[in-house]
Amino acid sequence: MPWGVFGEASVFVIFPNPAQLPVDPASFDPLKLGFKGLKGGFVSAAHGPREIAQTLDAFRSALRALKSSS
């Protein structure tokens, strides 16, 4: 999927690329795109390995569902 994910500290932003821009995950630079249309989320400092694994599994499942519906 030509999306990008970036972040610092306890904040991450998912760019779902609604305009289908040619995003290369290896060289994605969100600052070149600006912040219009970007979505964000916060990760708790209380997340341990189990919670992180559950979050990643849920995220992976959501991406697969999005990909199969398009």
pLDDT digits (tens, 9 = 90+) for 21-66: 888 988 988 877 776 656 565 566 777 889 888 988 998 999 899 8
The alpha carbon dihedral of 61, 64, 68, 69 has a sign of positive
Contact status, residue 18 vs residue 39, Cβ threshold 8 Å? no
Q: pLDDT per residue over 3-15, tens digit each?
A: 888 877 777 777 7
Q: What integer pLDDT is reported at residue 40 of this predicted model?
A: 66
Predicted TM-score (pTM) of this structure: 0.46
Torsion of CA 58, 64, 67, 70, to 10 degrees: -80
Distance CA(11)–CA(35), nearest Å, equals 14
* Domain assignments of the chain as residue spans, ordered by start: 4-69
* Block residue for tokens 């559950």: 54
Three-state DSSP class for 10?
Answer: coil
